């Protein structure tokens, strides 16, 4: 599998998770954690359902990966997210030691990776998370646009 196809494939799985969030009336964001080409964690936003401010897709996916590995450190794991992560999720990635973050849609209001800040470029972090914006994912954008249009 080529790297480009691999990124598209895992991002599409994150978008599928985002659909699960939308179906539960949650903001449609999804994530998957990958280690050695195997998915070890999946998640979608569940803030309202769980009454938890931290129930973001990224956190849930990393928690499931930690359960799988029996370790909160997710060394050498990649995280694919349908939408650019917020500050909370970025810091969790640093603590988890995520190797690479890939995301498919910039988030101009809350995105801490490149949109409102460059969180991972700060030298004071004790771990560097490499990241790549994979280019605008039309499916992620459509899910968000439709979700918020339905609420207006």
In the block, tokens 């897709």 appear at: 57
Residue 35 burial by Cβ neighbours in a 10 Å radius (0-12, 13-18, 19+)? middle
58 belongs to the catalytic site: yes
Residues 6 or more apart whose Cβ sits within 8 Å of residue 151: none
Cβ(137)–Cβ(104) under 8 Å? Answer: yes
d(CA 119, CA 107): 14
Question: Which residue among 8, 58, 67, 124 is the active-site one?
Answer: 58
* Beta-sheet strands, E only, within the chain: 30-35, 38-44, 78-81, 100-103, 130-133
State the catalytic residues: 58
């Amino acid at each position: 599998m080529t790297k480009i196809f691999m990124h598209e494939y895992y991002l599409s799985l994150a978008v599928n998770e985002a659909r699960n969030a939308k179906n539960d009336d949650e903001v449609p964001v999804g994530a998957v954690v990958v280690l050695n080409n195997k998915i070890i964690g999946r998640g979608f936003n569940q803030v309202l359902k769980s009454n938890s401010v931290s129930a973001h897709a990224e956190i849930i996916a990393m928690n499931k990966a930690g359960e799988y590995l029996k370790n909160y450190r997710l060394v050498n794991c990649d995280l694919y997210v349908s939408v650019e992560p917020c500050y909370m999720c970025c810091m969790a990635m640093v603590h988890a030691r995520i190797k690479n973050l890939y995301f498919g849609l910039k988030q101009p209001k809350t995105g801490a990776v490149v949109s409102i800040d460059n969180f991972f470029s700060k030298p004071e972090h004790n771990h560097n998370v490499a990241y790549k914006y994979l280019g605008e994912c039309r499916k992620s954008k459509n899910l968000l646009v439709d979700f918020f249009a339905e609420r207006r």
